[in-house]
Structure 1
Amino acid sequence: MEGSSGPKPLSVYLYIPNIIGYIRILMNCVAFALCFSNKKIFAILYFVSFVSDGLDGWLARKFNQVSTFGAVLDMVTDRVSTACLLTVLSQIYRPGLIFLSLLALDIGSHWMQMYSTFLSGKASHKDVKDSTNWLFKAYYGHRPFMAFCCVGSEVVYIIFFLIAERQPESVINAFVSVIQRRLFLLLLFSLALFGWAIKQIINIIQMKTAADACVFYDMKRNQ
């Protein structure tokens, strides 16, 4: 509207955290283009892109540039990059269904959580104050804990990608390979695996909670 004092659409697209989001997308594109020709470059680009999610969130709050577009951009970038890596792993390892199932759980739980958030009128899918599950509330209520689980999950996938020596590879053989290698790698993998396990539990809780919210919405609407 003419005379409006609010931010213009172009200015929102050019918010500093959103620009970082575009850079993250570009880094992921380059990473997956090189994933089979240069594993180390892929791992570096993918990891830096993922952890930059926390940086743009911090900058958004620091410069008061929080936007719905930025939040959606972050979530879509995270989900798509993880989905691409899990798809690659499903082609490297057997049974590939393990990684495809993890992909389905990740996408399904977040999509249902976003939709149930929309139905309940909440501003963010991370608003779980009314949840009765302590682990679910701890995950979304404490950023360092959530960051540990998310980063740990991605580190597990990166390690699996880096240690694959032949295709198709057995998941069990790869796991044993990690155990037999250097102590540092074993400790890193064990710590990351703990965060990965919590994140998968959260995904299951999230899907069930979101499904309940959709059912309660239908019940309330039909009364």
Structure 2
Amino acid sequence: MAKNKSIPIKPSKLSVYLYIPNIIGYTRVLMNCFAFAICFSNKWLFCALYFISFVCDGIDGWVARKFNQVSTFGAVLDMVTDRISTACLLVILSQVYRPGMVFLSLLALDIGSHWLQMYSTFLLGKASHKDVKDSTNWLFKAYYGNRMFMAYCCVGM
């Protein structure tokens, strides 16, 4: 009788799309689509959905690390979802509160600063834009190195 040899199974490329944090990401996209579709007709539901999506943004990263389901696809999904939801919120706020230029300026700052951070990370050959251990900028180190400070900046400001 031959013994069964255990052969390591490589995850298929499709499996990364079914990671738990990525499913949370898809849920965030759907919630945001619905929230922005009803933003003017049901402000309370919009706020609730946007807030839940915001909370899920923190949960998906924790789940990815907890279950070792970190992926480039998930990181990009998360970042793109963040940028689009922030951009949509700022555009809506620019229509509700006049003058809207303040919100449009914040939109330009958000997109520009994230693009510059990602591009500089790419030029330095780092795997993540959150890798700031070599940075001389104390604010980057505080923001990306201390989750409580990051949460305060995202929620409290």
Query: What is the TM-score normalised by the length of structure 1?
Result: 0.65
The aligned counterpart of 1:37 is 41
The aligned counterpart of 1:24 is 28
Name which of 80, 86, 97 aligns with 2:84. 80
Partners in 2 of 1:112 and 1:123 — Cα distance? 15
User: What code does the residue aligned with 1:100 have?
Assistant: L
CA offset digits 1:152-191 (Å, max 9, x no partner): 2xxxxxxxxxxxxxxxxxxxxxxxxxxxxxxxxxxxxxxx
Partners in 1 of 2:131 and 2:28 — Cα distance? 25
In structure 2, runs of 5+ residues without a counterpart are 1-6
The aligned counterpart of 1:113 is 117
Partners in 2 of 1:142 and 1:113 — Cα distance? 18
Give 1 or 2: higher helix fraction.
Answer: 1
Q: Shift of residue 6 of structure 1?
A: 3.2
In structure 1, runs of 5+ residues without a counterpart are 153-191, 197-223
1:8 lines up with 2:9 in the alignment: no
The aligned counterpart of 2:142 is 138
Q: CA RMSD in A?
A: 1.4
User: What code does the residue aligned with 1:109 have?
Assistant: S
Partners in 2 of 1:31 and 1:128 — Cα distance? 34
1:46 lines up with 2:89 in the alignment: no
The aligned counterpart of 2:132 is 128
Q: Shift of residue 4 of structure 1?
A: 9.2
Partners in 2 of 1:51 and 1:136 — Cα distance? 22
User: Secondary structure at the residue paired with 2:50?
Assistant: helix
User: What code does the residue aligned with 1:26 have?
Assistant: L
The aligned counterpart of 1:103 is 107
The aligned counterpart of 2:3 is none
CA offset digits 1:70-129 (Å, max 9, x no partner): 011111101100100000111111111100000000000001111111111101001111
Name which of 28, 52, 59 aligns with 1:55. 59
User: What code does the residue aligned with 2:112 have?
Assistant: G
Partners in 2 of 1:135 and 1:114 — Cα distance? 16
Distance 1:5 1:121, change over 3 A: farther
Query: What is the TM-score normalised by the length of structure 2?
Result: 0.92
User: Secondary structure at the residue paired with 1:132?
Assistant: coil
User: What code does the residue aligned with 2:77 have?
Assistant: L
User: Secondary structure at the residue paired with 1:94?
Assistant: coil
Q: Shift of residue 7 of structure 1?
A: 2.2
User: Secondary structure at the residue paired with 2:33?
Assistant: helix
Distance 1:4 1:121, change over 3 A: farther
Partners in 2 of 1:35 and 1:130 — Cα distance? 42
